[in-house]
Amino acid sequence: MIRLILLFSLFSVSGLAQVSHNYVAAKMNGVMANEDGTTIPIWGYGNYSAGVIDTITLPGPLLRYNFNDSVNIHFWNDSPEDHTIHLHGLDASQANDGVPTTSVAINPNDSITYKFKAKHAGTFLYHCHVTTTLHLTMGMYGMLVVDYPGNLLYQNGPGYNKEYTYLYSDMDRTWNFSPISPGPFYLYDPTDFYLNGLSGTQLFDDTTQIIRIYPQDSVLLRLANVGYTIVEYIFPSLMNATIEMSDGRPAPSPLAKDTLRIYPGERFSVMMRPDFMHYGYIEVNSINMFTDSTLYTNYIGINEQFHPTGIADSSRDPDWTIYPNPNNGQFTIQSISAGNYHIYNISGALIKQMSLESGDHQISLDDLNNGVYYIVDAESGLYKQFVVAR
Amino acid sequence: MKNLLICLLFLTAFSAKANDTLYIVKGQVQLDNNSTYMCVFNDSSNFFPRNATLYLPSAPSFNITIVNLDTSVHTFTIDGHVTTNNSINPQDTATFLLSGLSDGTYRYYSDVSYGRLIGASGTIIVGYNQYSRFSWNLLDVDTSSFTNLANGSAVAHPANYTASFFLINGLMHPQTLSDRETAIEGDLGDTLIICVVNSGQMINSFHFHGFHVTILDAKKSTDYIGWTKDSMPFLRGEAMTLMLVANQVGTYPVHSHNLMAVTNSGLYPGGMLTHITIDP
């Protein structure tokens, strides 16, 4: 899920603080389409207004507030069983903690307003805390973000110009198909592994999941794990990844890491500030808590449009062409749309920036060395590869 | 009897002298309707399914005597501190001098498969005695595998090791709510120290409701010393010290967020779940 930062705030911190209201409902009659075409029953959350509840999704809707907001989440349980919202990491008071034994369970067709003060910017979770072992794998969770003004991570923290959120979860689908008799909970055996409710090629079919990052960008990744397994992110070293925050608190100092393991319940804010253009992947491994074995690998594209299995989606090929290809540094771009285009070499170094009108264009780059190059649509990220061979 | 005296590091001039005795004992334990065996370091010669926690002052100079009441050879091991000349024969006794340990949490254990794999793993807490200190020793239990290791019919956990019980200090929820070393209690404004050792096969990830805690010390997750978090992993063999500042009143759960582990033989709630209670 991408959020492009288009406008920088002109407001002071205190000026942004407000009373915020959300309307969230729980339902137990959802379905999700899995990568293999299976339709899986889910329970979950959806926004509602005027008594009409949005279709519930996995994960639930992203809840987003400003730093210092006084938050009111109006929760309606439109289902036949008890549910709650636990505000994971918000340090809410006991009454607003969403735990049946220490707070209160919300009965069917009952409601409550959860309140908290957004005292810390960062990445958080919300989830049901009724029979949590079952209700989580059924899908009752989502991400909650508290933004600091001015596109800063936190007060006096680093800034960013793009943001992506990835909520990791897993599922034992046999439980979803039989939630009344899922078997002993210690036999949970995950069958499906999701980022934002998507898996495998779905993370490329939904192009908003692909990270579009260029040199000089400062891209924030909000990463959270609400699964039952470890999630391991392996960042390409060219991304210069640093961990800046965890669990809504700044790191004592930024921690440079190419591999980050996130355990159930944890959240991390990672900045990527590449010096060079790069096409590739963040590898996302799901790892068993007992055996350390890798159960599944997802991939997040970095400017790369296709899953590494190579299953191409022609809809994400640009509709313009290059000929001849290979060429001697002189070539034609045919049927291109008006816009800004960049040429990078295979190491990611920026070679040329061009502003082109729509139509055909003769390009002469006689000083290019032999090798592989990319022409990239700076807005969409779609690209064509060409080869110079003299 | 063999009597070993191992000086670990230089003695500190201002350290206090003390001594204690622990007994390595193996016995039968009942977990709900399941029976299995554990091996533990007890502070008496009678089997009780809970390892003793040693509370030492800062800069300790402490003699610990280990009496091996089991029928097999064991060791007394502290990674990075006691790793050699530390085996103890059956019915034998050995004494170790613990000194030069900085403030923090340490794991001691018997480094034989029929020891550390079935529970012979405990906690040493050094310093922080100006605060209320709590100790969590985490252990997951596959009852059949524990039995096989205890009776010598296996030398390791099987590849399909399947834990069905998840214990803090040998207790499962709701027992964890009434144990003074396990349930966290304090008054508003208190600083509380929680010392965690993971003696099990499962990596645990614990979540604190209502509070963030600061990681003061960690033997495994060293990258995160000094970080303030509400959820953190306790890796296998981890020994970690956490500081909780009680800044709001109420009762809040704290539990493993690998949610298989908040069950007892598959039933929720149970396992590694206890409470933090802060009074006005």
> Which residues are paired to A255 by β-bridges?
A243
Q: What pLDDT, on the 0 to 100 scale, is given for residue A10?
A: 35
A89 vs A383 pLDDT, higher one:
A89
Average pLDDT rounded to a whole number, residues A241-268: 98
Q: What pLDDT, on the 0 to 100 scale, is given for residue A86?
A: 98
Average pLDDT rounded to a whole number, residues B178-195: 98
A215 vs B275 pLDDT, higher one:
B275
Handedness of CA B172, B173, B174, B179 (dihedral sign): positive
Q: What pLDDT, on the 0 to 100 scale, is given for residue B17?
A: 44
Average pLDDT rounded to a whole number, residues B125-137: 97
Average pLDDT rounded to a whole number, residues A280-302: 96
CB contact under 8 A, B232 and A133: no
Q: What is the overall mean pLDDT for chain B?
A: 93
Q: Which two tokens stand for residue A214?
A: 């260029």
> Which residues are paired to A180 by β-bridges?
none
- pLDDT tens per residue, range A14-48: 446 799 999 999 999 999 999 899 999 999 999 99
Residue A368's contacts (CB-CB under 8 Å, 6 or more residues apart) are: A329, A351, A388
pLDDT > 90: percent of chain A: 77
* Closest residue by Cα to residue B116 from B85, B95, B146: B146
- pLDDT tens per residue, range A57-84: 999 999 999 999 999 999 999 999 999 9
CB B252 within 8 A of CB B206: no
Q: Say yes or no: A329 contacts chain B, CB-CB below 8 A.
A: no
CB contact under 8 A, B266 and A185: yes
Task: Place A5 in a pLDDT band, splitting at 50, 70 and 90.
Answer: low
* Closest residue by Cα to residue A205 from A296, A57, A316: A316
Q: Which two tokens stand for residue B97?
A: 């001098």
Task: Report the predicted TM-score, pTM, of the whole model to 2 decimal places.
Answer: 0.89
Across B95-120, b (16+ Cβ under 10 Å) vs e yields bbbbbbbebbbbbbbbbbebbbbbbb
Task: Place A379 in a pLDDT band, splitting at 50, 70 and 90.
Answer: confident
Q: Three-state SS for A176? A: helix
- How far apart, in whole angstroms, are the C-alpha atoms of residue B100 and residue B8? 7
CB A272 within 8 A of CB A223: no
Q: Is residue A386 over pLDDT 70?
A: yes
Q: Is residue B249 over pLDDT 80?
A: yes
CB-nearest to B253 from A102, A246, A257 is A102
Average pLDDT rounded to a whole number, residues B46-57: 96
Q: Is residue B66 over pLDDT 80?
A: yes
Closest CA–CA distance from residue B161 to any residue of chain A (Å)? 8
Q: What pLDDT, on the 0 to 100 scale, is given for residue A384?
A: 85
- How far apart, in whole angstroms, are the C-alpha atoms of residue A223 and residue A145? 11
Closest CA–CA distance from residue A251 to any residue of chain B (Å)? 6
Q: Is residue A359 over pLDDT 50?
A: yes
Closest CA–CA distance from residue B97 to any residue of chain A (Å)? 34
Output the CA–CA distances (angstroms, integers) from residue B76 to B82, B89, B112, B201, in the order listed.
7, 11, 10, 19
Q: Which two tokens stand for residue B200?
A: 């099990």
Residue B33 backbone phi and psi in degrees, to 5: -95, 10
Q: What is the overall mean pLDDT for chain A?
A: 92
Q: What pLDDT, on the 0 to 100 scale, is given for residue A309?
A: 76
Closest CA–CA distance from residue A221 to any residue of chain B (Å)? 18
Nearest CA in chain B to A135: B259
CB-nearest to A91 from B212, B231, B259 is B212
* Closest residue by Cα to residue B169 from B50, B52, B274: B50
Lowest mean pLDDT among A109-113, A159-163, A313-317, A385-389: A313-317
Task: Place A2 in a pLDDT band, splitting at 50, 70 and 90.
Answer: low
Average pLDDT rounded to a whole number, residues B189-204: 98
pLDDT > 70: percent of chain A: 94
Nearest CA in chain B to A188: B260
CB B242 within 8 A of CB B211: no
CB-nearest to B205 from A92, A102, A265 is A265
Q: What pLDDT, on the 0 to 100 scale, is given for residue A85?
A: 98
- pLDDT tens per residue, range A99-111: 999 999 999 999 9
Average pLDDT rounded to a whole number, residues B132-158: 97
Q: Is residue B5 over pLDDT 70?
A: no
Q: Is the peptide bond before B174 cis (omega within 30 degrees of 0)?
A: yes
Residue A160, number of CB atoms within 10 A of its CB: 21
The DSSP call for residue A274 is -
Average pLDDT rounded to a whole number, residues B250-276: 97
Strands annotated E in A121-239: 122-127, 141-147, 162-171, 192-195, 219-225, 230-234
Residue A8, number of CB atoms within 10 A of its CB: 10
Q: What pLDDT, on the 0 to 100 scale, is given for residue A316?
A: 62
Q: Is residue B133 over pLDDT 80?
A: yes
Q: Which two tokens stand for residue A375?
A: 């022409």
**How many residues belong to chain A?**
390
CB A118 within 8 A of CB A89: no
Nearest CA in chain B to A100: B253
Lowest mean pLDDT among A162-166, A342-346, B269-273: A342-346
Average pLDDT rounded to a whole number, residues A3-20: 54
Task: Place A1 in a pLDDT band, splitting at 50, 70 and 90.
Answer: low
- pLDDT tens per residue, range B77-116: 999 999 999 999 999 999 999 999 999 999 999 999 999 9
Longest dimension (CA), chain B: 54
CB contact under 8 A, A187 and B266: yes
Q: What pLDDT, on the 0 to 100 scale, is given for residue B23?
A: 98
Longest dimension (CA), chain A: 74
pLDDT > 90: percent of chain B: 93
Task: Place B14 in a pLDDT band, splitting at 50, 70 and 90.
Answer: very low
Q: What pLDDT, on the 0 to 100 scale, is given for residue A13?
A: 44
Residue A84's Cβ-side half-sphere holds a number of Cα atoms within 13 Å equal to 19
- pLDDT tens per residue, range A187-225: 999 999 999 999 999 999 999 999 999 888 999 999 999
CB contact under 8 A, A289 and B203: yes
Q: Three-state SS for A208? A: helix
Q: What pLDDT, on the 0 to 100 scale, is given for residue B11?
A: 30
Q: Is the peptide bond before A250 cis (omega within 30 degrees of 0)?
A: no
